Amino acid sequence: MALPSPLPLKNPPIIEALLDVQVAFPHPIEAQRLKDLGEVVKSAYPVVKPQFMATIQFQPIPLQAPAKPSIDQGFRGFSFLSEDEKEIVQFRLDGFTFNRLAPYISWEDMYKKAFDAWRHYRAGFPEGRVTRVATKFLNKILIPFDKGRVDLDDYFAVGIKDLDDETLPTVNFMSQQRFLDSVSGYGVDLNLSRFLPEQQLGVILDIEVFTQDPSHLAAAEPFSILATMREIKNSLFLKALTPKGLDLFK
């Protein structure tokens, strides 16, 4: 008999969760249309911030002259934030994203708010073709030191392996793995990286489930596949951590 799932966790380590839909347009859309669309979500997301993406280009010049890069801060779209800035709706030239920052409430809460905002984006730009759908969760995991050390294998079942050599302790790491879910065909990226809090070992566990397959995106409503993506994300989260690792959040 299958053991009951430990999810939802009493103290989830999620510091950011997002739902993302990338969209391609037959013709460039105007920035003002994105800003005007933000008026329909203004009551819930009153803080408006433009988005820019900096692109640096180096031009070939004579050897005696120093290189002078040109920086193009291209406009990407607008972010519309809740008053506490914990929830963010992004209306962009290339798609839509909903971000929820810590404290994470629930999938149901995030999904409903994201879907309501996505419907406005879709209604405003019905000519767009969906090219990618994803859900991404970033988890901050703090592990206490034991006599100044942490055995990573005690907490993680994937990604990082400690050498069995006390003269070569791990001081920093970054692990990137990609999986393919054989049932759904969705891709999964799992990244582990260290950050440096005091008194503890800090690890960011980043899991993204995504698809760019046109056969998956043929559905009229791309949000319809996110529930399955969430199940895959939860399954990999549980497999990535050992029982001792999961005990950190109980």
- Tell me the per-residue pLDDT of 133-181, one tens digit each, with 9 for 90 and over: 999 999 999 998 887 788 888 999 987 766 666 666 666 778 999 999 9
What is the distance between the alpha carbons of residues 93 and 75, in angstroms, rounded to a whole number? Answer: 8
The pLDDT of residue 68 is above 50: yes
Residues 6+ apart with CB under 8 A from 118: 19, 21, 96, 98, 223
Count Cβ atoms within 10 A of the Cβ of residue 111 and give its class: 0-12 exposed, 13-18 middle, 19 or more buried: middle
Which residue, 244, 142, 158, 156, is CA-closest to 199?
142
Averaged pLDDT for residues 4-33: 91
What is the radius of gyration, based on Cα positions, of the chain? 21
- Tell me the per-residue pLDDT of 73-118, one tens digit each, with 9 for 90 and over: 589 999 999 999 999 999 999 999 999 999 999 999 999 999 999 9
Sheet holding 14-24, edge to edge: 47-57, 70-81, 87-92, 95-101, 14-24, 129-144, 200-211, 187-195, 174-180
Averaged pLDDT for residues 37-57: 86
pLDDT value at residue 196: 78
Q: Considering the chain, what is the average pLDDT of its residues?
A: 88
- Tell me the per-residue pLDDT of 214-239, one tens digit each, with 9 for 90 and over: 999 986 688 999 999 999 999 999 99
What is the distance between the alpha carbons of residues 179 and 215, in angstroms, rounded to a whole number? Answer: 19
pLDDT value at residue 62: 56
Q: pLDDT above 90 covers what percent of the chain?
A: 69
Is 210:184 a contact under the CB 8 Å cutoff? no
pLDDT value at residue 151: 84
Name the band, by pLDDT with cuts 50, 70 and 90, for residue 199. Answer: confident
Residues 6+ apart with CB under 8 A from 68: 59, 61
The pLDDT of residue 70 is above 50: no
Structure tokens at 31: 């920035």
This prediction's pTM = 0.87
Which residue, 140, 37, 121, 44, is CA-closest to 87?
44
What is the distance between the alpha carbons of residues 197 and 179, in angstroms, rounded to a whole number? Answer: 30
The pLDDT of residue 64 is above 60: no
Residue corresponding to tokens 């790491």: 173
What is the distance between the alpha carbons of residues 64 and 33, in angstroms, rounded to a whole number? Answer: 47
Q: pLDDT above 70 covers what percent of the chain?
A: 85
pLDDT value at residue 2: 47
Task: Supply angle C-alpha 42, 14, 135, rounded to 5.
Answer: 65
Name the band, by pLDDT with cuts 50, 70 and 90, for residue 121. Answer: very high
Taking CA atoms, 113 is separated from 38, 96, 100, 116, in Å, by 14, 13, 10, 5
pLDDT value at residue 66: 58
pLDDT value at residue 1: 40
pLDDT value at residue 197: 72
User: What distance lies between CA 246 and its chain's CA centroid?
Assistant: 21
Give the start-to-end residue ranges of the domains of the chain: 8-23+131-250, 26-127
Structure tokens at 144: 């206490």
Chosen CATH of 8-23+131-250 out of 3.30.2030, 3.90.930, 3.40.50, 2.60.40: 3.30.2030
